[in-house]
Amino acid sequence: MRPLPLPVARGIDTALDKAVVPGFTRLGPAVRRRLPTWPEDARPGALAGRTAAVTGATSGLGLATAEGLARLGAHVRLVVRDTDKGERVRQQLLRDVPGAVATVDRCDVADLEDVRRFAADLDAALDGGRLDVLVHNAGALPAERTESPQGHELTMAVHVLGPVLMTELLRDRLAGSADSRDARVVLVTSGGMYAQPLRADDPEYTRGSYSGTTAYARSKRAQVELLPVLASRWAGQRIGAHATHPGWADTPGVVDSLPGFHRVTGPLLRDAAQGADTTVWLAATEPTPPSGRLWHDRRARSPHLLPRRTRTRPADRDRMWSWVREATGLD
């Protein structure tokens, strides 16, 4: 059978994405992997001698990401709130991945003071060494409006403020040099952000009736809209800023937070490894992927499925970034 022409393959890939259900479910990678447009896997041992940190690494996408990075040779640092659970996951990782190296680090990403403490501890632990990959996977979807220790709406604290501050504090450890490859910072976002515009006018969600799923989607929209700002800010130190959305994956977070969605879509959901595939690929593939983009199933995607509803004005992006800088105390 003759392979499909590349324009046809790209058209099929795009159609899957625009149709949402087939593209976001397990059908997406099942079809795309058979297309000539599917990128090659990272080479075996691509991350040997490198260090990767993954937040929220004790279950679901975070655990699958940690395992994928370990299989490529990385020393994986499991950044978790519950160190006892983190240690159990570490032991599981050592059993499942021959030769794996993993370390448990404690951090509550929602607590900006704890992020500062963690970054200082990690800086000391690396002892002048480099952090090559930082995956911001930790997530939250509260049923009611909840505030972080600093008084910020929880989803914004976990998905935006904590990751930005953590990366900023670790910039010297992430910075590349002439003889090293660019560092990779990956924000694990969500397809839910396609349904929400950037709410720079109300980042703390203080207006209207609060919805956890809406708050979650708004914070994920903020992650993606800030990518150009972050990519530009970190480019001088050769730190790439990327975002991935995993599609619809069967994870404990989905079961706990969206039980109705899980009941309806269960048979079609991706497993955690399928959901984490692009994150792991971005962390290890060569050459370095372009910074400042949203990725899904190993291809850069538009951040808008409904442009008229979600298109962001530069002034709104600037306003959101100003709020992030003020909330985190960045220069």
The CATH fold of domain 47-328: Rossmann fold (3.40.50)
- Can you tell me the distance from the alpha carbon of 330 to that of 189, in angstroms, rounded to the nearest whole number? 23
The one-character DSSP state at 157 is: I
Determine contact, residues 68/90, Cβ cutoff 8 Å.
no
What's the pLDDT score for residue 176? 83
Q: How far apart are CA 266 and CA 140, in angstroms?
A: 21
HSE, side-chain direction, 13 A CA sphere, residue 280: 28
* pLDDT given at position 205: 98
* Residue in 94, 36, 67 with CA at minimum distance from that of residue 277: 67
User: Residues 171-208: pLDDT tens digits?
Assistant: 999 998 767 889 999 999 999 999 999 999 999 999 99
Low-confidence ranges of the chain (pLDDT < 50): none
pTM of the full predicted structure?
A: 0.96
Residue labelled with tokens 């969206």: 258
CB neighbourhood size of 319 (10 A): 15
- Residue 51: alpha-carbon gap to chain centroid: 17
| pLDDT given for residue 326 in this prediction | 98
DSSP for 177-235, please give it.
-TTSPPEEEEEE--GGGGG----TT-TT--SSS--HHHHHHHHHHHHHHTHHHHHHHHG
The type of residue at 219 is: S
List phi, psi (to 5°) of 91: -65, -40
Integer Cα distance of 289 and 279 in angstroms: 12
Q: 300: which 2 tokens?
A: 């850069």
Q: Which tokens sit at 190?
A: 């969500």
Residue whose pair of structure tokens reads 């955690």 in the numeric block: 272
Domain ranges within the chain, ordered by starting residue:
47-328
Phi and psi at 117, nearest 5°, equal -65, -45
Q: What region does 267 belong to: left with phi over 0, alpha with psi -120 to 50, or beta?
A: alpha
Kindly report the number of other CB atoms within 10 A of residue 282's CB atom.
23
The catalytic site residues sit at 216
